[in-house]
Amino acid sequence: MSDNKEIWVFIEQYHNEVADVSWELLGEAAKLAPAIKAKTAAIILGKNINTFVKETIAYGADKVYTIDNPILGDYQTETYSKAFLKLAKKYKPEIILLGATITGRDLASAVATKLETGLTADCTALEINEETKFLWQTRPAFGGNVMATIICKLKRPEMATVRPRVMEMPTADFKREGEIIREYFTLDEESLLARVLDFIPADNTDAAQIEKAEIIVAAGRGIGSADNFGLLR
């Protein structure tokens, strides 16, 4: 077992716009926490992140660990994993949850490797076993034909990425109170292997956000030409 009974949720954000899966995971963490008498904690890394710190408490975080640094303004595996590892090695959480997104999968694998612990990817269900208190992590396997439940007996923290929109979106309670812990992180920019030179935001319309769509209609070459896409619309 870890030294710190906390379930951590990585708050994934792009220029201060939080991914919905982060709120979903905070809600799920709050459901799991009583079974191991743990607290829920949100991990926020980025630049100028104070705008949504209180929002994480509203969605279920008992604690919020933050590292606010310009070098974390854009996601990079190198910078984010080093910042995350600084927190994880210092506070030693019991469980770490991240969204099964491009960013979440990338960061989770980098962190799990350095912590020398197990990682279950693309989970669709999480449960604390009443007897063993292990985190049961369920995910599709063999092309989705079976569901596999995985546990991490010997290593801590237990880590999992969870698919967006499989957990219930919690209701925000802005009357909740929580503890905010601000940590500091320094890194020589000259030592970085890569740098983000520019950020071009995607079209921020509902039509462009596939992950929020209830139904997706797609067409292949049988449509004939681009002009015929009007038939689908």
Q: Give me the DSSP letters along 143-156.
A: TTTEEEEE---SSS
Among candidates 98, 132, 95, which has minimal Cα distance to 117?
95
CA–CA separation, 23 and 29 (whole Å): 10
Instruction: Point out the residues of the chain with pLDDT beneath 70.
Output: 1-4, 190, 202-212
Token pair belonging to 121: 């990817």
- At the topology level, CATH places domain 6-191 in Rossmann fold (3.40.50)
State the DSSP string of 8-63.
EEE--EETTEE-HHHHHHHHHHHHHGGGGT-EEEEEEEESS-GGGHHHHHHTT-SE
Element (H, E) at 65: strand 63-68
Among candidates 207, 110, 98, which has minimal Cα distance to 163?
98
- CA angle (204, 206, 211) in 5-degree steps: 100
pLDDT of residue 205: 57
Task: Provide the whole-model pTM.
Answer: 0.85
Q: Say which residues have a Cβ less than 8 Å from residue 192's Cβ, sequence separation at least 6.
A: 76, 78, 79
pLDDT of residue 142: 79
Token pair belonging to 173: 């309670």
The burial of 80, by beta-carbon neighbours within 10 Å (0-12 exposed, 13-18 middle, 19 or more buried), is given as: buried
pLDDT of residue 204: 59
Rounded alpha-carbon distances, angstroms, from residue 140 to 123, 146, 147: 7, 6, 5
pLDDT of residue 177: 93
pLDDT of residue 200: 72
CA–CA separation, 158 and 176 (whole Å): 27
pLDDT of residue 226: 78
